[in-house]
């Protein structure tokens, strides 16, 4: 089980984040934002494998590359494309879908499930390629099978492979959605404990680690009956799964700094914007962006494992970007630029 990631785009350009959750049995790719040239940096097959496209917000530098993504996926046959974003996502996507001439769409596959993340609810609309994306099917329309989803805490997706969470941040007069991916807790058998207790390994061990098996179930070991729950208490060691968060285009308010820190607490990897040098803090505040040191302080206070800086402003020179990295490191030493950025 692992979470791997690639920041798409160069320093000073539009950036996006490609993430793959690998359960060992299946791969789950996600794309966070889709600025100019970002989707084009993925292979076509990688683009077509994206299960969730997650927008922070719709400033141009975060959506300008969407047409490339759409072109590779508009009629994809097997699985729907899930799109997530802030308020207005359904309208923005609908206009995007309809911004082409459609006359050969009849009978084509393609289903787009578009969700708007609000503070306490999620709105959903589904679009079909065979309808030329004409109708937004919502729970308030005639399509009863699309029931409204309840917003459960900050959780958008919760399945066996990973949990996708969201936090609504402040980007001036519009929200910017932060996302966090968390793998399920890892449950392993303590082999030293197993031999101390004199139990022989066997297929019964998978029942002990499988959360779908009830505590009350009984297994026979050397003709002695044991409750699975009791065996779990003695044998299972669990540790948190890997986690990664993506935050971009925001300013922390007095009101949301503490909840964001609590939400990010202990996250392995924080991929975060660092649009401005700390000397330009007034400018950052005016534009509802972060500075290097503010991001470093966020990483430090949230106790993350590592901080990866992206979305640095093109107003700076390469030398200044290098200095920006050092600024963040003075606050949070385990900070880097994405692999492949020739800045250091
Ligand atoms: Zn931006
Ligand atoms: Zn923005």
Q: How far is the CA of 311 from the centre of ligand 1 (A)?
A: 7
Task: Give the number of the ligand closest to the Cα of residue 57.
Answer: 2
- Alpha carbon of 58 to ligand 1 centroid (Å): 9
Catalytic residue among 14, 33, 61, 280: 61
Q: Identify the nearest ligand to the CA of 36 by its number.
A: 1
Q: How far is the CA of 102 from the centre of ligand 1 (A)?
A: 31
Q: Please tell me the pTM assigned to this model.
A: 0.90
User: Is 83 in contact with 55 (CB distance < 8 Å)?
Assistant: yes
Torsion angle of the four alpha carbons 261, 266, 269, 275, in this order, in degrees rounded to the nearest 10: 20
Are 70 and 53 in contact by the 8 Å Cβ rule? The answer is no
**Cα 83 to Cα 191: distance, rounded to the nearest angstrom:** 43
Q: Which ligand is nearest to the CA of 276?
A: 1
Residue 156 dihedral angles phi and psi, to the nearest 5°: -95, -45
Indicate the DSSP class of residue 309: E
CA of 124 to the centre of ligand 2 (A): 23
Residue among 171, 55, 69 at smallest CA distance from 117: 55
Q: Which domains are present in the chain?
A: 2-184+241-336 (3.60.15.10), 187-239 (no CATH)
Q: Is 61 a catalytic residue?
A: yes
Neighbours of ion ligand 1 (CB under 5 A): 61, 249
Ligand 1 centroid to residue 61 C-alpha, Å: 5
Tokens of 315: 């107003």
Per-residue confidence of the chain (344 residues) as pLDDT tens digits?
899 999 999 999 999 999 999 999 999 999 999 999 999 999 999 999 999 999 999 999 999 999 999 999 999 998 999 999 999 999 999 999 999 999 999 999 999 999 999 877 889 999 999 999 999 998 765 554 554 554 555 889 998 899 999 999 999 999 999 999 999 988 889 999 999 999 989 999 999 988 889 999 999 998 899 999 999 999 999 888 999 999 999 999 888 999 999 999 999 999 999 999 999 999 999 999 999 999 999 999 999 999 999 999 999 999 999 999 999 999 999 999 999 998 86
Contact by Cβ (8 Å): 7, 15: yes
Q: How far is residue 95 CA from its own chain's centroid?
A: 24
Token representation of residue 103: 């006359």
Q: Which ligand is nearest to the CA of 59?
A: 2
Around ion ligand 2, residues with a beta carbon closer than 5 Å are 59, 249
Residues forming a β-bridge with 225: 220
CA of 228 to the centre of ligand 1 (A): 51
Return all residues near 278 (Cβ < 8 A) that are at least 6 apart. Answer: 291, 292, 293, 294, 327
């Amino acid at each position: 089980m692992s979470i791997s990631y690639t920041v798409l785009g160069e320093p000073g350009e539009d950036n996006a984040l490609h993430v793959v959750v690998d359960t060992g049995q299946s791969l789950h790719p996600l794309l966070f934002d889709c600025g100019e040239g970002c989707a084009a940096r993925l292979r076509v097959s990688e683009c077509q494998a994206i299960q969730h496209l997650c927008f922070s917000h719709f400033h141009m530098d975060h959506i300008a590359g969407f047409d490339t993504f759409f072109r590779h996926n508009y009629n994809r046959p097997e699985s729907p494309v899930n799109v997530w974003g802030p308020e207005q996502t359904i309208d923005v996507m609908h206009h995007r879908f309809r911004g082409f001439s459609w006359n050969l769409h009849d009978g084509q596959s393609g289903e787009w499930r578009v969700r708007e993340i609000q503070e306490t609810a999620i709105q959903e609309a589904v679009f079909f390629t065979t309808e030329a994306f004409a109708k937004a099917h919502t729970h308030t329309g005639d399509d009863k099978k699309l029931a409204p989803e309840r917003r459960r805490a900050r959780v958008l997706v919760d399945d066996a492979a990973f949990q996708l969470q969201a936090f609504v941040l402040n980007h001036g007069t519009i929200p910017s959605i932060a996302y966090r991916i968390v793998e399920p807790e890892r449950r392993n058998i303590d082999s030293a404990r197993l031999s101390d207790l004199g139990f022989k390994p066997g297929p019964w061990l998978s029942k002990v680690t499988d959360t779908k098996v009830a505590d009350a179930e009984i297994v026979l070991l050397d003709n002695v009956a044991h409750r699975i729950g009791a065996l779990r208490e003695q044998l299972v060691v669990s540790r948190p799964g890997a986690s990664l968060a993506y935050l971009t285009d925001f300013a922390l308010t007095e009101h949301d700094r503490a909840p964001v820190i609590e939400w990010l607490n202990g996250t392995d990897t924080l991929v975060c914007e660092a649009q401005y040098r700390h000397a330009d803090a007034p400018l950052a505040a005016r534009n509802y962006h972060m500075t290097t040191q503010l991001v470093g302080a966020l990483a430090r206070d949230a106790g993350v494992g590592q901080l990866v800086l992206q979305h640095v402003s093109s107003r700076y020179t390469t030398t200044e970007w290098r200095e920006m990295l050092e600024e963040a490191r003075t606050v949070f030493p385990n900070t880097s630029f994405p692999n492949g950025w020739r800045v250091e």
